[in-house]
């Protein structure tokens, strides 16, 4: 994105994305595919490592969404206390 979003705007966009059924379905299907590779006894070590890395990456995305929401909560608390926030 060319312009920088405020904490509130970014959090709103993240909530919208997380609530999107297509996005949720895509993440769920990708996760299920990778778990299937990971637990398949016929998968090679390299395939399992790649599946593990993909699952970790998907969790990082979810963690990022959570951190953005936490940033918004902290920002709003600062506003209600009268402090200046970024």
Q: Place 1 in a pLDDT band, splitting at 50, 70 and 90.
A: very low
Alpha helices in the chain (DSSP H): 7-19, 21-39, 45-80
Degrees to nearest 5, angle at CA 68 with 81 and 58: 160
The reported pTM is 0.78
Residue 6 to residue 11: CA distance in whole angstroms: 8
The answer to whether 65 touches 18, Cβ cutoff 8 Å, is yes
**40-49 tens-digit pLDDT:** 999 999 999 9
Task: Tell me: pLDDT of 84 over 70.
Answer: no
**53-65 tens-digit pLDDT:** 999 999 999 999 9
Residue 35 to residue 42: CA distance in whole angstroms: 13
């Amino acid at each position: 994105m060319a312009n920088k979003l405020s904490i509130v705007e970014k959090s709103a966009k993240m909530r919208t994305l997380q609530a999107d059924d297509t996005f949720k379905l895509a993440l769920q299907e990708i996760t299920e595919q990778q778990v299937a590779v990971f637990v398949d006894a016929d998968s090679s070590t390299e395939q399992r490592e790649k599946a593990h890395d993909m699952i970790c990456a998907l969790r990082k995305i979810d963690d990022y969404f959570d951190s953005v929401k936490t940033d918004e909560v902290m920002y709003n608390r600062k506003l209600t206390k009268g402090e200046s926030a970024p």
